[in-house]
Amino acid sequence: MNMKYLNRLAGFISVVLLWCSCSEGQDRPDALPDLQTMAGQMVMVGFNGFEISDTSHVTRDITQYHAGGVILFDYHVPGSSPNRNIDSPPQLRKLIADLQGLSEIPLFIAVDQEGGRVARLKPARGFPEHRSAEYLGGLNNPDSTRHYASDMAGTLSDLGFNVNFAPVVDINLNPENPVIGKIGRSFSDSPEVVVQQASIFLEEFNSEGVLGVLKHFPGHGSAWNDSHLGMADVTDTWRESELEPYAGLTDSNLDFAVMTAHVFNSRLDPDWPATLSEEIQTGILRERFGYDGVLFSDDMQMEAIRSFYGLRESIARAVQAGVDVVVFANNSVYDPDVVPKVIDIIVSLVEEGTLTEERIAESYNRIMNQKRELGLIE
């Protein structure tokens, strides 16, 4: 029996077992909760503020709508302001603790701390300096990489983060790529070096209870344009080697999640960008490589998605593609009501038959299993 059918069988069995436990009346969270709660766990949201209050939409998002995760930033792009969520280590530690205190189900608390140019925790605000992937890959010294990876993992864990959207495993096929190669986010143009470097980061993250997230599947390294600003078509530049880090790391015993890429690649799917493609996210990542961990979308408010697809269509396609957590960072555009909108859409998609409740339960199960692996719940 091939991996494709084994994965499908395992997913079916897990959902059946969850439904059985629910019908036997077991206490939550082991039994399936209501559909709205499961949908809430599938949403990660960003907000503006150094602290939370009763009137903050993130308080409502967590307590009323059961949002499963929060992503924090140091810069508020919609307001062109350096005042967002991260001001100092003591302030940030308290903010994360307060956010966790709101939720019945412990939250994924995420950040983009790659090192180098993409570092939300900056030395100017009292955080350690973390080197870029390009710098570490250029050295290609495992001891140096482990030193910086260990420091990063310890810093994140001490502050209360349990998800880091790193390491980047994009292959540096285009050094002039404006959002990868040109700003030092790729370890190397060699898949072997990328896997070696990323493995060290994942090992250190695992040891500190931080979930590392590989990005951007199935590869953003060859692009010539920025998916923050519009659709990046990599059809003519993408190479099969860009899949090697995912294949290699899935075969390891390391714990990690994956983030999708907002790129269009007609060689892999002639109709849909990767985040919305079942052919790519399920057909390649889950069935071909056997990956069954949590799959995060890249920010669904980026222009590559928002300018081409409506909210309802993009959510339907992403979830059907295999995405478990849809990320709405509120840092391209700001919508304080995006969480209730998204949850209402997911629920209505199930009610009309576009999505099945079993599909939602599948993602909920992956999310809860990952939170157990991180020690957030028993």
Rounded to whole angstroms, how far apart are CA atoms 83 and 336? 17
Pairing verdict, β 108-111 and 69-71: parallel
> In 3D, which of 180, 171, 153, 160 has the Cα closest to residue 85?
160
Largest CA distance in the chain: 58
Backbone angles phi, psi at 101, to 5 degrees: -65, -20
User: Is 226 one of the annotated active-site residues of the chain?
Assistant: no
- What b/e sequence results for 68-97 when a residue is b if at least 16 CB atoms lie within 10 Å of its CB, and e otherwise? bbbbbbbebeeeeeeebbbbebeebeebbe
Q: Which of 226, 228, 255, 292 is catalytic?
A: 228
Q: Which of 74, 170, 269, 298 is catalytic?
A: 298
Rounded to whole angstroms, how far apart are CA atoms 374 and 127? 24
Tell me if 22 sits within 8 A of 38, measured CB to CB. Answer: no
Rounded to whole angstroms, how far apart are CA atoms 47 and 85? 8
Helix H segments across the chain? Answer: 3-23, 35-41, 57-63, 89-102, 133-139, 142-159, 191-207, 244-250, 278, 303-306, 311-321, 338-352, 357-373
User: Is 228 one of the annotated active-site residues of the chain?
Assistant: yes
Q: Which residues pair with 110 in a beta bridge?
A: 71, 163
Cis preceding linkage at 167, omega within 30: yes
- Show which residues are catalytic: 228, 298
